[in-house]
Copies of this chain bind each other. A is one copy, B any other.
Amino acid sequence: MLIIMGLDSPRKDIDKVKQKIIELNCTPHEIPGSSKLAIGITGPTHLLKEEDFQMMPSVQEVVRVTKKFKLVSRQMKNENTIIEFDKHTIGGKELCIIAGPCSVETREQTFEIAEQLKEMGIILFRAGAYKPRSSPYTFQGLKEKGLEILAEVKSKLGLKIVTEVLNSQSLQSVAEVADIIQIGARNMQNYSLIEEIGSLQKPVLLKRGMAAAVEDLLLSAEYIAAQNNFNIILCERGIRTFETATRNTLDLNAVPVIKQWSHLPIIVDPSHGVGIWDKVPQMAMAAVACGADGLMIEVHHDPENALSDGYQSLTPKKFKELLSKLNELAPIVNKELKLYEHAVSL
C-alpha cells in the first residue's frame, strides 16, 4: 500500500502517518518524488484499510499496489529512479557504459585495459576479483589480491569500480573498493547475501538469474529496497533456453517490461547474453534501441589469453568502434553518451 502526500507536508503529519503504519505492524518507507512524497508500506498490508489513512492530515491519496513486488514497482513510484555518481547518473538521460575484463588477472593486464578504457572516456570499470565458476578446478579470481589491484586502478586512474561479491565473508573488503557492488546471476536468489549487501546502502548491480522470470528479478530487488536502499541497477544478461547457437538467450524483451513494471534502471550485458564476441556489438545496439539505460561489456586487450570468458570479450579497438555507433544511436532513443570529460587529454 502507498500513501501519497504533498512534498511540502509538515514533518509532524508525515511522522503521524509513519507512526500509524508501525502501530499496525507494518513498515513505512519514505519515497520522495519530484512533486509528491509517497510513503510505501510493506508487511501484512492486507490487514490495513484505506480508511485508516484517507482522513489523516496532508494525505492526498491511498493506493493499493497489485504486483507482488512493492517498493520497486512503477505503481509505488512513477518517476524513474536515477542513481548519481559525482557528475554522472544511471537511469536518467545519460547512457551508462560499464566496461572492463571479466577478471582481474594481473596488475599489468588490469592497468593495460583500464588505461585504454579511460582514454576512451569510460568512467565505470568492471573486473572480477572473486569469480564464481561452475568447476572448482578453473580460475577462481585473484581474490584479495585482485581487490588491491582494483583499489589501485581507482586511486591512480580515478575510475569507478564495479565488482562482484560472492559471500558475506568478503563483503566488507569488496564494499571498500567497489562503487557499485555486483550480485551475479548465480546469486540472484541468495537472499541472505542480497539483504546484507542491500543494508550497506551502496549502489547494487543485480543480475538476472538464468531461470529467473522478470518478476523474480524484481522480487530479489525488493529484498534490497526493503532495506531502504533504492540504489539498485537491474541487469539483463541472458536466460537459459533450448537454443544452443548462443551461450545464453539475451532476453531484450525484459527491457520494456521492466521499464513498465518498475522505476529502477535496467542495463544489459550482451557479453554474457550471447557469449560470442562477434555478436556483442549488434546486441549492444539492440539493447540501447529498446530502451536500456546502459550496457555492461567485457573488454580485453588479449582475448585469446584471457583466464576467463575471453571468447566473449571485445578488443579495445572493437569496443571503440561500438562506442562510436552508440554515440550515433543514443539521441534517437533520447539518451546521451556522456564520456569522461578529459578523455582526450589523458
Chain A interface (Cβ within 8 Å of chain B)? 42-43, 68-70, 132-137, 166-169, 186-187, 189-193, 195, 209-211, 213-216, 219-220, 222-223, 226, 239-246, 249-257, 260, 273-274, 278-279, 282-283, 285-291, 325, 328-329, 332-333
Contacts and interface: CB of A to CB of B under 8 A. Distances in A.
A168 B216 CA distance: 23
A329 B286 CA distance: 11
Given A169-B168, A328-B332, A274 B253 contact: yes
A217 to B, nearest CB: 10
Given A134-B216, A168-B169, A245 B254 contact: yes
Contact of A192 (B166, B189, B254): B166
A245 B257 contact: yes
A119 to B, nearest CB: 24
A201 to B, nearest CB: 17
29 contacts: A69-B135, A70-B137, A132-B189, A133-B191, A134-B219, A134-B220, A136-B219, A136-B223, A186-B191, A190-B190, A209-B211, A213-B245, A240-B242, A245-B253, A245-B254, A246-B257, A249-B251, A250-B253, A252-B252, A252-B286, A253-B273, A253-B274, A253-B283, A255-B282, A260-B278, A286-B286, A286-B289, A289-B290, A328-B332
A273 B325 CA distance: 26
Nearest 9 CB-CB pairings of A with B: A211-B211, A289-B289, A186-B189, A167-B192, A286-B290, A286-B286, A285-B289, A256-B279, A282-B290
Given A252-B252, A286-B290, A215 B70 contact: no
Given A190-B187, A242-B241, A329-B332, A252 B283 contact: yes
B282 A222 contact: no
A192 B42 CA distance: 31
A243 B252 contact: no
B214 A192 contact: no
Task: Name which of A186, A254, A288, A328 has the most chain B CB atoms within 10 A of its CB.
Answer: A186
Contact of A257 (B134, B279, B325): B279
Contacts of A70: 137
